[in-house]
Protein backbone atom coordinates (compact mmCIF):
# COMPACT_ATOMS: atom_id res chain seq x y z
CA UNK A 1 0.00 0.00 0.00
CA UNK A 2 1.47 3.34 -1.06
CA UNK A 3 0.84 5.38 2.08
CA UNK A 4 1.33 2.66 4.73
CA UNK A 5 4.38 3.42 6.88
CA UNK A 6 4.90 -0.28 7.69
CA UNK A 7 4.82 -1.18 3.98
CA UNK A 8 7.40 1.55 3.39
CA UNK A 9 9.58 0.00 6.10
CA UNK A 10 9.09 -3.49 4.63
CA UNK A 11 10.03 -2.29 1.13
CA UNK A 12 13.12 -0.43 2.36
CA UNK A 13 11.71 2.96 1.34
CA UNK A 14 12.00 3.99 5.01
CA UNK A 15 15.31 2.74 6.47
CA UNK A 16 14.98 0.80 9.72
CA UNK A 17 17.19 -1.53 11.73
CA UNK A 18 15.53 -4.87 12.32
CA UNK A 19 15.77 -7.04 15.40
CA UNK A 20 14.63 -9.97 13.24
CA UNK A 21 13.44 -10.60 9.72
CA UNK A 22 12.53 -13.54 7.53
CA UNK A 23 10.70 -13.89 4.23
CA UNK A 24 7.31 -13.08 5.80
CA UNK A 25 7.86 -10.90 8.90
CA UNK A 26 9.83 -8.00 10.34
CA UNK A 27 10.53 -7.18 13.98
CA UNK A 28 11.79 -3.74 14.99
CA UNK A 29 11.89 -1.31 17.90
CA UNK A 30 8.83 0.92 18.27
CA UNK A 31 9.73 4.57 17.62
CA UNK A 32 7.56 5.67 20.56
CA UNK A 33 8.34 2.91 23.08
CA UNK A 34 6.31 2.38 26.21
CA UNK A 35 9.35 0.67 27.74
CA UNK A 36 12.90 -0.05 26.64
CA UNK A 37 12.87 -2.93 24.17
CA UNK A 38 9.25 -2.34 23.02
CA UNK A 39 9.00 -4.25 19.73
CA UNK A 40 6.63 -4.26 16.77
CA UNK A 41 6.07 -7.42 14.69
CA UNK A 42 4.55 -7.01 11.24
CA UNK A 43 3.85 -9.21 8.25
CA UNK A 44 5.71 -7.90 5.19
CA UNK A 45 2.53 -8.32 3.16
CA UNK A 46 0.02 -5.50 3.68
CA UNK A 47 -2.84 -6.78 5.82
CA UNK A 48 -5.00 -4.15 7.52
CA UNK A 49 -6.69 -6.23 10.18
CA UNK A 50 -5.63 -9.44 11.88
CA UNK A 51 -8.91 -11.11 10.95
CA UNK A 52 -8.10 -10.54 7.27
CA UNK A 53 -4.89 -12.57 7.52
CA UNK A 54 -4.62 -16.15 6.32
CA UNK A 55 -4.61 -18.74 9.12
CA UNK A 56 -1.03 -19.69 8.23
CA UNK A 57 0.05 -16.05 8.71
CA UNK A 58 -1.68 -15.94 12.09
CA UNK A 59 0.02 -19.16 13.19
CA UNK A 60 3.43 -18.01 12.01
CA UNK A 61 3.22 -14.54 13.53
CA UNK A 62 2.21 -15.90 16.94
CA UNK A 63 4.98 -18.51 16.89
CA UNK A 64 7.37 -15.62 16.16
CA UNK A 65 5.69 -13.57 18.91
CA UNK A 66 6.43 -16.30 21.44
CA UNK A 67 10.07 -16.49 20.26
CA UNK A 68 10.47 -12.72 20.60
CA UNK A 69 8.81 -12.70 24.05
CA UNK A 70 11.30 -15.30 25.28
CA UNK A 71 14.15 -13.31 23.68
CA UNK A 72 13.03 -10.13 25.46
CA UNK A 73 12.78 -11.89 28.82
CA UNK A 74 16.26 -13.36 28.43
CA UNK A 75 17.98 -10.30 26.95
CA UNK A 76 16.40 -7.63 29.17
CA UNK A 77 15.61 -9.59 32.32
CA UNK A 78 12.01 -8.38 32.38
CA UNK A 79 9.40 -10.17 34.49
CA UNK A 80 6.92 -10.63 31.63
CA UNK A 81 6.11 -9.33 28.16
CA UNK A 82 2.77 -7.75 27.47
CA UNK A 83 1.47 -8.21 23.95
CA UNK A 84 -1.22 -6.23 22.20
CA UNK A 85 -2.81 -6.31 18.78
CA UNK A 86 -4.23 -2.83 18.37
CA UNK A 87 -4.09 -1.83 14.72
CA UNK A 88 -5.99 1.43 14.67
CA UNK A 89 -3.02 3.79 14.83
CA UNK A 90 -1.42 2.29 11.70
CA UNK A 91 -3.68 0.35 9.32
CA UNK A 92 -1.35 -2.65 8.98
CA UNK A 93 -1.70 -5.75 11.17
CA UNK A 94 0.96 -5.62 13.87
CA UNK A 95 1.71 -6.89 17.34
CA UNK A 96 3.28 -4.82 20.13
CA UNK A 97 5.58 -6.59 22.60
CA UNK A 98 6.21 -4.53 25.72
CA UNK A 99 8.80 -5.69 28.28
CA UNK A 100 7.28 -5.30 31.75
CA UNK A 101 8.44 -5.46 35.35
CA UNK A 102 6.17 -6.14 38.31
CA UNK A 103 6.88 -2.72 39.82
CA UNK A 104 7.00 -0.61 36.65
CA UNK A 105 3.70 1.23 37.25
CA UNK A 106 2.96 1.43 33.52
CA UNK A 107 -0.78 1.90 33.89
CA UNK A 108 -1.29 4.43 31.08
CA UNK A 109 1.64 3.41 28.89
CA UNK A 110 3.45 6.72 28.52
CA UNK A 111 5.72 6.80 25.51
CA UNK A 112 9.23 8.15 25.18
CA UNK A 113 11.80 8.51 22.42
CA UNK A 114 15.13 6.75 21.99
CA UNK A 115 18.31 8.66 21.43
CA UNK A 116 20.62 6.93 18.94
CA UNK A 117 22.83 5.45 21.68
CA UNK A 118 19.88 3.89 23.54
CA UNK A 119 18.36 2.51 20.34
CA UNK A 120 21.69 0.94 19.39
CA UNK A 121 22.00 -0.55 22.90
CA UNK A 122 18.48 -2.05 22.74
CA UNK A 123 19.09 -3.51 19.28
CA UNK A 124 22.35 -5.10 20.43
CA UNK A 125 20.89 -6.59 23.62
CA UNK A 126 17.92 -8.13 21.87
CA UNK A 127 19.57 -9.34 18.67
CA UNK A 128 22.44 -11.10 20.46
CA UNK A 129 19.91 -13.47 22.06
CA UNK A 130 18.41 -14.62 18.77
Burial, 19: exposed, middle or buried (Cβ in 10 Å; 0-12, 13-18, 19+)? buried
Nearest to 41 by CA among 80, 67, 15: 67
Annotated catalytic residues are 94
Amino acid sequence: MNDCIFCKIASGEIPKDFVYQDENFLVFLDIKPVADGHLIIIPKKHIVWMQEAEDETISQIFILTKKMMLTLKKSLGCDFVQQTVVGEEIPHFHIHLIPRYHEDKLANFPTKSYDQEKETEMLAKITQEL
